[in-house]
Chain A
Amino acid sequence: MLDSLSSSLSSALNTLRGRGKLTEGNMREGLGLVRTALLEADVAYDVVEAFLDRVTAEAVGEKVLASLDPAQQLVGIVHQELINLMGPVDHSLHFQEGRPTVLMLCGLQGSGKTTSTAKLAKKIKQQGRSVLLVAADLQRPAAIEQLSVLGQQLNVPVHTPDGVSDPVAVCNAGVARAKKEGIGVVILDTAGRLSIDDELMAELAMIDRTVGPDQVFLVVDAMTGQDAVASAKAFNDALELDGVIMTKLDGDARGGAALSVKHVTGVPIKFIGTGEQIEALEDFHPDRLAGRILGMGDVVSLVEEAQRKFDQDEMQQQEERLRAGEFTLEDFKKMLMQTRRLGPMGKVLGMIPGMGGIKEMLDTADLDRDMNRLFGIINAMTPDERRNPTRIIDQSRRRRIAQGAGVQPQEVNDLVKQFDGMASMMKGMAGLGMRDRMKQLQQLQSGIANPGARLAKPKGVTGKRLTAEERKKQKKQREKDARRRKRQTKD
């Protein structure tokens, strides 16, 4: 039934091919099929509804492209929105230097906390850091033994309670031991608990307060159904989560709970468990799970096709540099050249589902002229200036560059300013999928075509205004960061 989503979508939408625009009316049937697919994949009901509203808003008014199957066009949008919602990704564990980094794992019973503790330890050890595991599950029979066995397999020390019956005390003792022994990372394996068990949730909050872990991860079973929202919300309220580990994705679970959990907590999914072995921990990739949730990786190939044409390798290298904060004018120039190599900008955009409309908005002739000017300016710079334009380029350098490129010094100034805005926008783009990337690119292009226009810094992934909830989330994050900083200065 799931594999047929794409074909039933096709028949539901085929009459649209090549004419008209997507409207709420003509998409209704198709979106109904998407709704069923998402529910079958265990995305929570309310999350599905919110998601479909988003997709509708996104798709309405889009031209149905002559060259594309409208079903594919819709799926392209759905797929991209799924990626947007489940991203951006953050695989970093944010280690502290000079004191132990404390990670805590929590979650429902049997979700995979203890196993994931061992998997994380292995990963961290491979990065050359020392690890101490703390057996803070004093509840389940043989939970301590389980962690001890795993610790032995990993050759990693395990701090066990020794007669203590209070998990808070065990965690504190574990962290103290790590400090004394100069161990880099401590991982707390807590007991499984129900999100409606007030007493045990309070205990968890107590560990959070007194031990002050640097990162708290919720471990979620990929097979979880509708309850994912309720439990994830309860854990996030009690603890302020920093990330999610989704386990047991090695089976045939569609993993829709990932979307639910991300939706209610807003914290990134960091890793996925893909087996019982200690090695089976992978970085989370929203695009892969999006295809899995829809049960139709093949339909996504269209988007991928376009992506391939974007000379992926080079793109990826640049993205990595972006993430590392190393984006330079040299990279920027390469990127522009790359885009140009694909052909006229208008044609490139036309290939992407939903991007047809943008084509008309761009004046390609102007674009080409402006690009040449930009190249001229960048070429006139020294390598140092390209790497660090904002910091290095002073008045005298500006004059020299302008002379070399045959432009006014003000234009050099504009480029440097724009580069500043671009660099931060590019950084935002690094985590985005194709569709948003194209949007950003479009903004970027219009910025170039109109050099006087100051590029606005991107607000968020969608560039939409923040809702009250999002503001609340941001506030919470700020408070949390403040607490972390305080904790750090305490040490």
Chain B
Amino acid sequence: MALFRFRGSDKPDPSKVDEAAKSGAPVDSTGSVSPEATADEAGGAGRLFDRFRAGLKKTVQVLNTDVRDLFKQEGRLVDESFLNDLRRALVRTDMGPTAAEEIVKDVYAKQRARVVDPESVLDSIRGTLSQRLDQTDAPLAAAATGPTVILVTGVNGSGKTTSIAKLANRFVKDGKRVVLGAGDTFRAAAVEQLSMWASRIGAEIVRSDQGADPASVAHRAVARALEGDFDICIIDTAGRLQTQSNLMQELGKIRRVIAKQIPEAPHEVLLVIDATAGQNALSQAKGFSEAASCTGVVLAKLDGSARGGVVVPVTETFKLPVKFVGLGEKADDLAVFDPKRYLEALLADSFCDSPA
């Protein structure tokens, strides 16, 4: 018997769906949310949330039962053993030992030696976390006029190219004209990968041969967007590790090349973080922010058993809001990040039988 189930799990709360739709709906060229998009998104967000839950259900299945039993022993006290279990559940989200310890201390200070009250413990944790994840709605920035340019960066294999395909798909479905820049000229068949996506989703692509200068591809993609009157231009980059200073400098060069044609561009610089990543994501956020002035995070591969809890310290430390989450390998598998729902999912399996 579960003493606690996470709230709003039986049916998507309409108000939440609305929120999600609003924050994530593509914006039109004047920067306001387009009404059609909102209507369309409401259904989409609900569906995605279902998928989110389906993913979580699987997650719950693979985890040990003892974590889920945390709240199941009636009359359990907030004592050292409870705090250890809590610490374990928190650390396992990848939020990091320091963040976990702070929460444990907080719970201890407020509830010491009381009988565990799941509601209030969870509330307290969610309160702390949502403060840390503090991000006002973070829709994608858009150009006032002309094409919106989005640069996508991240370490090797994190999910950049696929996330670009998903984003582009979103825009195309919303009636926007999208051109992609195949800026990964290094990895074998990276250009082909993006090309296949482009033709699948109906976006144009600017490409050059393997080994070409990525800055020149970026330049040509933006030029094409301007000349062809495209709404959106998304530029892919080769995966790189934040410790490779020459490759990090290359990102700065790509930025400058873009800004030469459109001074306020790139309007967004997204950092794609793999949800399986641990504490190294902090170093990634630092390195990429410094080199490319990132404006937001895409948390990819959240459909697996990993939680990506490292985004908590990442957003807090680097003021980098999470904008989207990746929930699969297909073009539709992208959802707008909703902190509330994310926090429920983050702790779901620690405190209940099953989220469904």
**A contact residues vs B (CB 8 Å cutoff):** 35-36, 39-42, 44-46, 108-112, 139-143, 145-150, 153, 194-196, 221-228, 230-231, 234, 248, 250-254, 256-257, 276
Contact = CB atoms under 8 A, between A and B. Distances in A.
Per CB-CB distance, the 5 closest pairs between chain A and chain B, nearest first, are: A225-B278, A110-B157, A42-B278, A251-B241, A227-B306
Interface string B253-290: 00000000000000000000010111111011000000
Given A230-B63, A252-B283, 7 more contacts: A40-B279, A142-B196, A194-B304, A225-B278, A227-B94, A231-B276, A250-B241
A230 B62 contact: yes
A301 B292 CA distance: 38
B62 A226 contact: no
Contacts of B97: 35-36, 39-40
Interface residues of B, number: 54
Interface stretch (B12-20, B34-42, B145-153, B183-191): B183-191
Interface stretch (B1-9, B85-93, B122-130, B223-231): B85-93
A228 B156 CA distance: 18
B317 interface: no
B62 A39 contact: no
B155 interface: yes
B93 A42 contact: no
A248 B156 CA distance: 8
B157 A221 contact: yes
A108 B188 CA distance: 19
Contacts of B156: 110, 112, 248, 276
A108 B276 contact: yes
Contact of A251 (B87, B195, B196, B243): B243
Contacts of B80: none
Contacts of A253: 280, 283
B192 A145 contact: yes
Contacts of B279: 40-42, 225, 254
Contacts of A147: 188
Contact of A276 (B58, B187, B210, B329): B187
Interface of B: 55, 58-59, 61-63, 87-88, 91-94, 96-98, 155-159, 186-190, 192-193, 195-197, 200, 210, 239, 241-244, 274, 276-281, 283-284, 301, 303-307, 310, 329
B304 A196 contact: yes
Contact of B159 (A42, A110, A150): A110
B132 to A, nearest CB: 18
B188 to A, nearest CB: 4
Contact of B274 (A110, A148, A231, A251): A110
Contacts of B92: 44-45, 226
Contacts of A111: 157
Nearest to B100: A39
A251 to B, nearest CB: 4
Nearest to A48: B91
Dominant SS among interface residues on chain B: loop
Q: Which of B55, B63, B192 has the most CB of A within 10 A?
A: B192
B308 to A, nearest CB: 9
B183 to A, nearest CB: 16
A153 B97 CA distance: 44
Contacts of A231: 276, 304-306
Contacts of B283: 251-253
A44 B301 CA distance: 19
Dominant SS among interface residues on chain A: loop
A409 to B, nearest CB: 61
Q: Which of A35, A45, A226, A256 has the most CB of B within 10 A?
A: A226
Contacts of A40: 96-97, 279
B233 to A, nearest CB: 20
Given A225-B278, A225-B279, A248-B156, A195 B189 contact: no
Contacts of A153: 188
Contacts of A222: 280
B305 A224 contact: no
A140 B278 contact: no
A39 B274 contact: no
Q: Which of B155, B188, B242 has the most CB of A within 10 A?
A: B188
B342 to A, nearest CB: 16
Contacts of A251: 155, 241-244, 280, 283
Q: Which of A109, A139, A147, A227 has the most CB of B within 10 A?
A: A227
A223 to B, nearest CB: 4
Contacts of A45: 87-88, 91-92
A193 B196 CA distance: 20
Contacts of A146: 187-190, 192-193
A255 B7 CA distance: 36
B71 to A, nearest CB: 18
B211 to A, nearest CB: 12
Contacts of A41: 279
6 contacts: A109-B157, A112-B157, A142-B190, A226-B93, A248-B156, A251-B241
Contact of A248 (B62, B155, B159): B155
Contacts of B210: 149
Contacts of B190: 142, 146
A139 B329 CA distance: 9
B305 A256 contact: no
A369 to B, nearest CB: 54
Q: Which of B278, B280, B284, B307 has the most CB of A within 10 A?
A: B278
Nearest to B188: A149
A146 B188 CA distance: 5
A227 B280 contact: no
Contacts of B244: 251
Contact of B193 (A108, A140, A150, A196): A140
B192 A257 contact: no
Given A145-B192, A146-B188, A221 B274 contact: yes
B280 A150 contact: no
Nearest to A44: B92
A226 B189 contact: no
Contact of A196 (B58, B96, B329): B58
